[in-house]
Amino acid sequence: MNRAGKAMITGASSGIGAVYADQLAARGLNLILVARDHNRLEAIAQRLRHTYSVEVSCLGVDLTQAAGLEQTLALLEQDLTLTMLVNSAGISPKDPVLESEEQSLAAMVNLNVNVLHRLTIRAAKVFSSRSLGAIINIASVVALMPEKFNGSYSASKSFVLVLTQALAGELALHGVQIQAVLPGFTRTELFERAGIDISVIPPDMLMNASELVEAALIGFERGELVTIPSLVDLALWRSFEHTRQQLAPYLSLQHPAPRYFNTPG
Ligand SMILES: NC(=O)c1ccc[n+]([C@@H]2O[C@H](COP(=O)([O-])OP(=O)(O)OC[C@H]3O[C@@H](n4cnc5c(N)ncnc54)[C@H](OP(=O)(O)O)[C@@H]3O)[C@@H](O)[C@H]2O)c1
């Protein structure tokens, strides 16, 4: 990030995305801010231009609408100065799956999964062809603890984590960096938008978005593939990953394991 560059940030009108805008501008990156609320983006852009003397443009689009997504994908491809994509646009449900409307869960999966997937793949191809660039995907700790929250949301965030882990090897061959950030509860508008009272979250479990992004960017600058800002004991994550990798030789074999053989009588 020391070299001059430009970052496209989705979900930049509030919360984690808006803090990325601030902290990347502070590092001297020019920005493209993407979200639906154009007036809000423009107010953020004006402040960042004034404070950090960087170039900031705004794209007020709904990423779940075909036209808005296509416009964003086209910009990713056409702006030859882009060097980073931050996928932060996302929404959360309020209730458990069985108490949620199927349509609203589908709309959430569309933004959290389908939109992020299209943007990530397009950026991966574009940056790889230029042999530079970076992608930061905002997942969630519920990707690791899916039983603790709405299953559709947790699954959407597992998608983000797995996609990021899976692409890392391919991208590294082309000099492109990718990172998944796994926030825990973070003080943003996410809860209010979902209709969740943020005061029910124990304060010792709730991080400020600025602290979260500062830590995530330090992780990024150190080349971390997966950053879990809250996690003090990194050995826990390493041993979890080590155990997962150790499964590899046993996951695809010619015959089922002996415990699945029918025993006579
Ligand atoms: N807050 C947490 O506790 C927490 C924890 C783990 C992970 N996360 C993840 O962090 C990411 C950022 O969320 P946040 O906490 O910062 O929430 P937030 O303050 O509500 O920000 C969400 C952003 O997404 C944008 N957005 C929503 N729908 C959109 C659409 N259809 N098209 C384009 N932009 C859209 C919103 O802007 P507009 O309304 O202007 O479009 C806003 O800028 C999400 O992926 C979320 O799942 C959050």
The pLDDT tens digits of the residues spanning 209-263 come to 999 999 999 999 999 999 999 999 999 999 999 999 999 999 999 999 999 998 7
Does residue 263 belong to any structural domain of this protein? Answer: no
What is the rounded average pLDDT of the residues 93-104? 96
- Decide whether any atom of ligand 1 lies within 6 Å of the 23 Cβ: no
Does residue 11 belong to any structural domain of this protein? Answer: yes
- Decide whether any atom of ligand 1 lies within 6 Å of the 227 Cβ: no
User: How far is Cα 33 from Cα 17, in angstroms, rounded to an integer?
Assistant: 9
Does residue 202 belong to any structural domain of this protein? Answer: yes
Which pTM value belongs to this model?
Answer: 0.97
Does residue 262 belong to any structural domain of this protein? Answer: no
Does residue 92 belong to any structural domain of this protein? Answer: yes
Q: How far, in Å, from the CA of 126 to the mean position of ligand 1?
A: 25
Does residue 91 belong to any structural domain of this protein? Answer: yes
Domain CATH number, residue 154? 3.40.50.720
Q: Which amino acid is at 71?
A: Q
Q: What is the domain range of residue 189? A: 6-235
What is the rounded average pLDDT of the residues 113-118? 98
The answer, yes or no, to whether residue 2 has pLDDT greater than 80, is no
Does residue 244 belong to any structural domain of this protein? Answer: no
Closest Cα to atom 17 of ligand 1: 190
Number of structural domains in the chain: 1
- Decide whether any atom of ligand 1 lies within 6 Å of the 15 Cβ: yes
Write out the catalytic residue numbers: 153, 157
Q: Tens digit of pLDDT for each residue in 63-93?
A: 999 999 999 999 999 999 999 999 999 999 9
The answer, yes or no, to whether residue 3 has pLDDT greater than 80, is no
The answer, yes or no, to whether residue 1 has pLDDT greater than 70, is no
Phi, psi of 134 (to 5 degrees): -150, 150
Instruction: State which ligand 1 atom lies nearest to the alpha carbon of 187.
Output: 1
Does residue 154 belong to any structural domain of this protein? Answer: yes
Q: How far, in Å, from the CA of 11 to the mean position of ligand 1?
A: 5
pLDDT at 262: 86
